[in-house]
Amino acid sequence: MKLNHILTTAVAFALTASFAHAGKLVIKGSDTLGAKLVPQLAETFKAASSGTTFEIAAEGSTTGIAAIIDGTAQIGMASRRAKPTEVSAAAAKGVNLKPTIVAWDGIAVIVNDANTLKGLTKKQVEQIFTGDVTDWSAVGGAPGKISVYTRNTSSGTYSEFKEMAMKKRDYAGSSQKMAGNEQIAAEVGKNKNGIGYVGLAYDKANGIKVMTLDGIAPNAGTVRSKSYSLSRPTFYYTNGEPAGEAKSFLDFTLSPKGQAIVAQVGFVAIK
């Protein structure tokens, strides 16, 4: 056990040293942030700051927080807060998970363009995603077996949606798990009976439309005011106060220039 701890610390130290030495910034985590926003921020940052290289892996918030705990990334992207188990695991390794809000987002419920419905109630969303309701006719739509698309379990959006929209109930057994927002949007766009959810930056894809929730559409105003019930902050997680390249990149993200990119990509700027 002790040897394991020493080895982990040594590996983490070696990796941190290599980050610093090469001017390389390793960012892992949320697909919501990592598929579009962070790469664009990185491109702009690189153009202004010589010598920094990026390694970005967007495989879900869980992987981002785990990477901070393991010391394999300097920034962990997350579309959800760290769970108590993750905070506890981090504390056991002497890691202090520090969240920084970098953007606001709304989880948009999307359906195929051909769907006659314009909106759903929160209760109907819960019923559809848990499998209580399996046909569109039960919620006022044209008859057809509902195809539910969700993110995979390492996704922060997966767990946030479960908590915010489904009263923490389990997803329907028939739901299909997708690797990212773009895959969900693509599948729903192809399937006239499809329904799924994506971050605001992904709700303009072809073939889909966004449902209002209890009559409220997700947009910058309703997300910032939190009148849209599926509004959430998104984070960069660091081990304590960020330093070096990580601090520079975080500062850039929070700067007016960075926040302009945030808004341009489709997220809601924090100010």
Partner 1 sequence: MLNPTSLRIAVALALATPLAAVAQDNGALIDKLVKKGILTSQEAEEVRADLTRDYTITSAGKIQLSNSLTELKLSGDIRLRYQYDNKDYQVDPVGVGTDSDRSPSGAQRSRWRFRLRLNADFKLAENFYGGVELGTNLASDSGNQTYENGFNKYPIYISKAFMGWNPNDWLNITAGKFSNPFYTTDLVWDPDINPNGVTESIAFHKMYFGGSETSYSKDGKTASAPIKEERPWELTLVAGQFIFDDNLEGGGRDNATRDNDTTSDVYLFETQLIASYKMGGVKATLAPAWMTYTSGSVSGAENENSFNDSPLVSGASRDLNLILVPGDVSFKLGELKTKVYWDFAYNIEGRKRVENIYRLASVGNPAVDPDDLVKNHSNRDDFAFLIGVQVGENKKKGDWSALANWRQTGIGAVDPNLNDSDFAAGELNTKGFKLGMAYNFTDFCIGGVTYLHAWNLRRDLAGGEATDGNGVADSNAVQVLQVDLSMKF
Using CB under 8 A as the criterion, which residues of the chain lie in contact with partner 1 when the complex forms? 81-82, 84-85, 87-88, 91, 96-101, 167-170, 233, 235, 270
Minimum separation from the CB atom of position 224 to partner 1 (A): 10
Residue 213 near residue 125, CB atoms below 8 Å: yes
- Structural Rg of the chain based on CA atoms: 20
Strand partners, 25: 54
Residue 64 near residue 78, CB atoms below 8 Å: yes
- Measured from the CB atom, is 18 or 88 closer to partner 1? 88
Minimum separation from the CB atom of position 223 to partner 1 (A): 12
Give the strand pairing for 231-239 and 97-112: antiparallel
What is the rounded CA–CA span in Å between residue 173 and residue 67? 30
Minimum separation from the CB atom of position 164 to partner 1 (A): 12
Minimum separation from the CB atom of position 100 to partner 1 (A): 7
- Measured from the CB atom, is 66 or 110 closer to partner 1? 66
- Measured from the CB atom, is 62 or 193 closer to partner 1? 62
Strand partners, 111: 195, 209
What is the rounded CA–CA span in Å between residue 207 and residue 29? 28
- Measured from the CB atom, is 97 or 200 closer to partner 1? 97
Q: Three-state SS for 83?
A: coil
Question: Which residue carries 């767990």 as its tokens?
Answer: 159
What is the rounded CA–CA span in Å between residue 109 and residue 263? 20
Provide the residue type at 116 as one letter: T
- Measured from the CB atom, is 167 or 190 closer to partner 1? 167
Minimum separation from the CB atom of position 101 to partner 1 (A): 5
Minimum separation from the CB atom of position 200 to partner 1 (A): 17
- Measured from the CB atom, is 43 or 241 closer to partner 1? 241
- Measured from the CB atom, is 24 or 169 closer to partner 1? 169
Exposure on the CB side of residue 73, measured as CA atoms within 13 A: 27
Minimum separation from the CB atom of position 270 to partner 1 (A): 7
CB atoms closer than 10 angstroms to residue 119: 15
CA-based nearest residue to 138, from 193, 186, 185: 193
